[in-house]
Amino acid sequence: MKKLLLSIATLVAVLGAVSVATWAYFKDTAVLGSNTYATGVLEIRLNGAETLPGFSVTNAYPSLVGSKVFTLSNYDFAHFGGPSTLDAKGLTATAVKTGGDDALYDALQARLYANAGWGGCSNAGVTFVSGKGCTVYDGLLKDMNAEDILNATYWGAHPPLVPGNSFTMTFEVELPETHTDQGALMGKSATFDLDIDAYSIWPL
């Protein structure tokens, strides 16, 4: 029994020695080196500026239209000296009330057009207006929310605005004539922005 126990102890000791032994081998390394991950830049401008003053209408009355025509550009280096390197695959327009009378703001009608220089529009249901372009939006100003600008272009179903490309936009706002007494809106004012957002992917 003592011999058996001794043999087992010897075997365990040998196995323990084997388990910590160093194995010899050959090794070679190949390297996929100098990997870089750098993000691009998406920058749009209105008439070359990040912020462009809009229109100012005073002493207005029903049916008087305030309007602003501007150029929307994907502001790259080659054409504008700007930083943009990415396609704008999505462009949206949103009206944002910044102050003034709620009732007047809620009553205002807005229209937004995109004009890339050709007649006609690519997508069914988009109306072309001569001298202004394809209709992006036509409705109450307060309801203008993330309206799809690229859906209303001439370049295809939903073409990106690539770096260096531009198109002209027309923004119109009016207090529509309702053929009713609108006296409650006299002497009022409302202020608002038109926010245009660009996205590197679409749909979101």
The answer to whether residue 53 is domain-embedded is no
Vertex 146, ends 172 and 110: CA angle to 5°?
A: 20
Question: Can you name the residues that pair with 149 across neighbouring β-strands?
Answer: none
Burial of 5 (0-12, 13-18, 19+ CB in 10 A): exposed
Residue 19, SS3 per DSSP: helix
pLDDT of 16 reads 52
For range 70-76, the mean pLDDT: 97
Structure confidence by residue, pLDDT tens digits, 142-152: 999 999 999 98
The answer to whether residue 24 is domain-embedded is no
Q: Does the pLDDT at position 35 exceed 60?
A: yes
Residue range(s) defining the domain that contains residue 90: 60-177+188-199
The answer to whether residue 20 is domain-embedded is no
Tell me the C-alpha distance between 125 and 9, whole Å. Answer: 89
Indicate the average pLDDT of the chain. Answer: 89
The answer to whether residue 29 is domain-embedded is no
Question: In Å, how far from its chain's centre is CA 31?
Answer: 39
The answer to whether residue 135 is domain-embedded is yes
The answer to whether residue 26 is domain-embedded is no
The answer to whether residue 17 is domain-embedded is no
Q: How far is CA 185 from CA 111, 156, 188, in A?
A: 21, 42, 6
The answer to whether residue 55 is domain-embedded is no
